[in-house]
Copies of this chain bind each other. A is one copy, B any other.
Amino acid sequence: MQAGFRLVAEVGFEGLRLRQVAEDVGIDHSTLHHHFATKQDLVAAIAAYTVSQFWFTAQEDGDPVVRLRSHFDALARLLREHPDLFTVTVELDLRARRDPTVRAAMVEHEAGWRQVLVRTLAEGLAGGTLNREIDPVATAELIIATVKGARLVPGRADVIFDQLFALILGCPLSDDRPPNEETSEKRTS
C-alpha cells in the first residue's frame, strides 16, 4: 500500500503498474493479487492511506485566528516536508471523477476538513477577530479550493497562503486603526 503510494507519487495513477508495486515490496505480482484482488482495490487502499495521513492539527480551543494561522502553517509545512502527500492528493482528486470508491473517500475526508474550517471561521466571526463580511461556508470553500490549487505550485504555496490569510483576517490595517499586532506582519516562513 505504501509502495503503491510512493509509486503514484512518482508516476501517477496512469503509470501505476501492479508488477512494479509488487517488485518494490519484494513479492511476486501474483501474491499482490492475493492481498488486493483487483487493481481497483489497491487504488482504494492507497486513497484511504493517503487521506489518513492528513491529521489536521486543528486545536479545538484558543483564538480562532491563531488556529487558522496554525492550520495554514501546518499545511505549508506538510507541503514542504511531504510533497508526495499532495502530489498523490492531486492524483486522487482527478481519479475521484471516475472512480466512485475514491470519490467517496475524498468526499468524506473533505467534509471533515470543511467542518473544521467552517467552525473556526464562524467562531472568529462571532468573536469579531475576522473580517465581518466573511461568510464562513463560502470562505471554507475558498480555502479548500485555494489549497487544492496551491498543490500544483508547491513553491508558491507560502505566499498564496499568506495572502489569503491576510485577506481573511479582516479589515486591512487602515492607518487610523491598530491592526492585529501579531498577525499583520507578512509571514514569510
Partner-B contacts on A (CB < 8 A)? 11-15, 87, 90-91, 93-94, 97-98, 131-135, 137-139, 141-142, 144-150, 152-153, 156, 159-160, 162-164, 166-168, 170-174, 179-180, 183
For A162, list chain B residues within 8 Å (CB). Answer: 138
A90 and B94 contact, Cβ closer than 8 Å, known pairs A14-B14, A149-B146, A171-B172: yes
Q: List 27 A-B contacts (CB under 8 A).
A: A11-B98, A12-B97, A15-B98, A87-B97, A91-B94, A94-B94, A131-B167, A133-B166, A133-B173, A138-B160, A141-B153, A141-B156, A141-B160, A142-B146, A142-B167, A144-B149, A145-B145, A145-B146, A145-B150, A145-B156, A146-B146, A147-B149, A148-B152, A149-B149, A170-B171, A170-B172, A174-B174
CB closest chain-B residue, reference A87: B97
Copies in the complex: 4
Asked if A171 and B168 make an inter-chain contact with CB atoms under 8 angstroms apart, the answer reads no
Could you list 16 further interchain pairs (A-B, Cβ under 8 angstroms) beyond the known A137-B159, A145-B153? A90-B93, A91-B94, A131-B171, A131-B173, A132-B172, A134-B172, A135-B163, A142-B160, A145-B148, A146-B146, A148-B148, A148-B152, A149-B150, A167-B167, A170-B172, A174-B174
Most chain B CB within 10 A, of A139, A145, A162, A170, is at A145
Asked if A139 and B163 make an inter-chain contact with CB atoms under 8 angstroms apart, the answer reads yes
Smallest CB-CB A-B distances: 9 pairs: A145-B149, A148-B149, A149-B149, A167-B167, A138-B163, A171-B171, A133-B172, A14-B14, A145-B150
CB closest chain-B residue, reference A93: B152
For A146, list chain B residues within 8 Å (CB). Answer: 142, 145-146, 149
Inter-chain CA distance A172–B86, complex, in Å, is 33
CB closest chain-B residue, reference A90: B94
